[in-house]
Amino acid sequence: MSRRSGDGFVRCSDGHVRWGVFGAAGVVFVQRTADGPLVMLQRRSAFAHEGGTWSCAGGALDEGETPLDGGLREASEEVGAVPDDITILGSVVFQPAVDWSYTTFVVEVAEQFGASMNFETDDVGWFGPDDVDRLELHAGFAATWPELRSIILGA
């Protein structure tokens, strides 16, 4: 995998070091079923920040890349080709510093997909929202999960 323009750590205005020179973005994929919505999450590998925790697929934005384009690109790199027929249900922006943000999109898909595509992902699973509440979540994802959950259940 070649290095991209946004790859790298940056010290943000709040003093914390974060991944993504131009910020970052990810995607929570949702499939509607007769029993309610299911959410795709990835379990991060030991090689990734907070390895062993569950989160959405995502990562660093490249220079000039929109958060949606970057989130979908990162998802395809980590969990496989994103289906063509998608519906954007909403998004949540986590901005802990004035010069860095992570945008998470909630995207509906007709069918489940996903597998570990690279060293960053140990596993991919589809979970009901109540099941997500019981998983060990990546801290950044956990911070936005209540808002993401509202989008998923409200759509």
Domains of the chain: total: 1
What gap in Å lies between CA 122 and CA 125, rounded to an integer? 10
With bands split at pLDDT 50, 70 and 90, how would you rate the model's confidence at 115? confident
In a domain, 1, yes or no: no
In a domain, 18, yes or no: yes
Q: Give yes or no for residue 126 having a pLDDT over 80.
A: yes
29: containing domain: 9-154
CATH of residue 32's domain is 3.90.79.10
Note the pLDDT of residue 107. 98
The predicted model scores a pTM of: 0.91
Summarize pLDDT for 19-68 with one digit per residue, the tens: 899 999 999 999 999 999 999 999 988 777 777 789 999 999 999 999 99
The answer to whether 137 and 146 have CB atoms below 8 angstroms apart is no
CA distances from 118 to 70, 78, 133 (A): 17, 6, 26
Summarize pLDDT for 71-83 with one digit per residue, the tens: 999 999 999 999 9
Q: Give yes or no for residue 1 having a pLDDT over 60.
A: no
In a domain, 4, yes or no: no
Mean pLDDT for the stretch of residues 123-148 = 94
Sign of CA dihedral 74, 115, 33, 154: negative
State the alpha helices, DSSP H only, in 1-155. Answer: 67-79, 129-132, 139-154
In a domain, 49, yes or no: yes
Q: Give yes or no for residue 155 having a pLDDT over 70.
A: no
In a domain, 94, yes or no: yes
In a domain, 45, yes or no: yes
In a domain, 3, yes or no: no
Note the pLDDT of residue 2. 60
pLDDT mean across residues, the chain: 92
Q: Which residue has the higher pLDDT, 112 or 46?
A: 112
Q: Give yes or no for residue 106 having a pLDDT over 60.
A: yes
Between the CA atoms of 107, 112, 117 and 122, what dihedral angle is there, to the nearest 10 degrees?
A: 100
